[in-house]
Chains A and B, each alone.
Chain A
Amino acid sequence: MNKALAILGKDVLSELRSKEIVVSILFFALLVIVVFNFAFDPGEDTVKLVAPGVLWVAFTFAGVLGLNRTFAVEKEKGCLEGLMLCPVDRAIIYWGKMAVSFIFMLAVEAVITPIFLLLFDLPLFVPELALIAVLATVGFVSVGTLFSALAASTRSRDILLPILFFPIVIPVIISAVEATQVAFDGKAFSDMVSWLGIMGAFDAVFLVVSTLVFEFVIEE
């Protein structure tokens, strides 16, 4: 546990110094939202229909971009070898890296969501969104970290990650969009429970499966 935190600490520190990943995906997510705004020209009646989709497409795309970086950074400077030489279980590396991506993505979501709600003239206080965001983000990074490590050791990793990542996270995207729709419509919490349940099941399954198979992805 401490070892995973050490990996987390090192990545957060290096991010605080370079501000390379979070700032760029923040900017990217914002751009996606603005582009969608032009694509749909959301008036008052369409905004509630498209808003959850726009928000989650922005987060999914931004997430892929960020996840691509988590292992690419290690690869570029030969740091991955160093990390692998550490006397720790491979699963620890996975958990540390995943925690980093989780924090980065959640930080981006925490900044983007209020801006998004303002721009699309939606209710500003939607506490359920926090829960949806946590569940969906865990889903994204659980699979995303695994695939990021895989893609980092191949040629043309930038295109490989989305090809692997999108089909697998479809259940998360569907559930997050539908749950967000329920939240925007101001319906009862019980209406979104089944969607949260699917995300919870996805998170649990892929945290376990990814932990088990991660060692095969970063072997020599």
Chain B
Amino acid sequence: MSKRLYNLLLAFSFVLMIAALYLIFIYAPAEKEMGDIQRIFYFHVPLAWIAFLAFAVVFVGSILYLWKRESKWDMLAQSSAEIGVVFTTLVLVTGPIWARPVWGTWWEWEPRLTSSLVLWFTYLAYLLVRSYASEESMGARFAAVLGIVGFVNVPIVYLSVNLWRTQHPPHLVNNLDGSMLLTLQVSLAAFTALYVLLMYHSVSIRKLAGRVRYLKRLMEEREG
């Protein structure tokens, strides 16, 4: 990514973030029954969607890595998994904050909550498995296998927990008021931009780290 494109993206995300904050806290009307607590929905839903997008990127990156064996795909998958886990953590934090006043409980073993929790565990394992491997390439291979298996499992997990319990507010998005829908869309755009920005930084750091390791090895060879 060129410097100019990066600055553009940075400025774009900044403007979107400010706009989203304005829309969420000032523009959007308070919800009739739930009141102000409903505003957390504008964070919760985009976070969940982007987390899911991030895990889809992990899936694609994992397949491409096992196929092509180019470390850039592994870097892509790993970076996306890290961001996905952070976003899922935020989903699991914002959910209960909303649920406590509305449902009366912090946590319910309800399909979407349970699925998110299973996803969180799966991708935490994805991040962990690397540190157990004795070599870097082995860790990358193992992680890629988990990135594929974990994502394939998502629909089955969802199906099974859905059959098991149901309580989450279903498809709120369809009957949203116009101003609320706009707020949600801008918030979603802001989080998407944030995801792209974080991905860019995370991948560049990984590239640099790889370069440093390479140079260090080179130096050691020269000295030794």
Residues of A within 8 A of B145 (CB): 146, 150, 213, 216-217
Choose one: A156, A157, A166, A201; the contact of B121 (CB below 8 Å).
A166
Tell me the A residues contacting B by CB distance below 8 Å.
143, 146, 150-151, 153-157, 160, 163-164, 166-168, 170-171, 174-175, 178, 194-195, 198, 201-202, 205-206, 209-210, 213, 216-217, 219
How many angstroms from the CA of A184 to the CA of B132 in the assembled complex?
Answer: 42
Give B contacts to A, CB under 8 Å.
Answer: 66, 118, 121-122, 125, 128-129, 132-134, 138, 141-142, 144-146, 148-150, 152-153, 156-157, 159-161, 163-164
Q: Is B125 within 8 A of A167, CB to CB?
A: yes
- What are the residues of chain A within 8 A of B134 when measuring CB–CB? 153-155
Asked if B163 contacts A198 (CB within 8 A), the reply is yes
- What separation, in Å, do the CA atoms of A206 and B151 have in the docked complex? 12
State how many angstroms separate the Cβ of A212 from the closest Cβ of chain B.
8
B129 touches A170 (CB 8 A): no
Chain A residues with CB below 8 A from B118, complex form: 167, 170
| With contact pairs A155-B132, A195-B163, A202-B156 given, residues A143 and B149 touching in the complex (Cβ less than 8 Å) | yes
Cβ B141 vs Cβ A171 within 8 A: no
Q: Give bound CA distance, A213 to B142, whole Å.
A: 10
Chain A residues touching B, majority SS: helix
Going nearest first, the 3 A-B pairs with the smallest beta carbon separation are A171-B160, A167-B121, A154-B132
B160 touches A168 (CB 8 A): no
Contact among B121, B125, B142, B153 for A171, CB-based, below 8 A: B153
Picked from B148, B157, B163, the residue with its CB within 8 Å of the CB of A213 is B148
Contacts of A219 in B (CB 8 A): 141
A156 to B142, CA, bound (A): 15
Q: Assess the B156–A171 pair: CB atoms within 8 A.
A: yes
Contact (Cβ within 8 A) B164 A174: yes
Residue on B nearest A199 in the bound complex, by CB:
B160
Residues of B within 8 A of A167 (CB): 118, 121-122, 125, 150
Residues of A within 8 A of B153 (CB): 168, 171
**In the complex the two chains form, is B144's CB within 8 Å of A216's CB?**
yes
B144 cross-chain contacts in A, Cβ below 8 A: 216
Query: A178-B164, A213-B66 known; A171 and B159 CB under 8 Å?
Result: yes
Which A residues are in CB contact (< 8 Å) with B132? Answer: 151, 154-157, 160
CA of A175 to CA of B163 in the docked complex: distance in angstroms?
A: 9
A174 touches B160 (CB 8 A): yes
Q: In angstroms, how far is the closest chain A Cβ from the Cβ of B123?
A: 9
Q: Which residue of A lies closest to B62 (CB)?
A: A213
What is the minimal beta-carbon distance from B213 to any residue of chain A, in angstroms?
20
A160 to chain B, nearest CB (A): 5
A201 to B160, CA, bound (A): 11
Residues of B within 8 A of A217 (CB): 141-142, 145
A138 to B209, CA, bound (A): 42
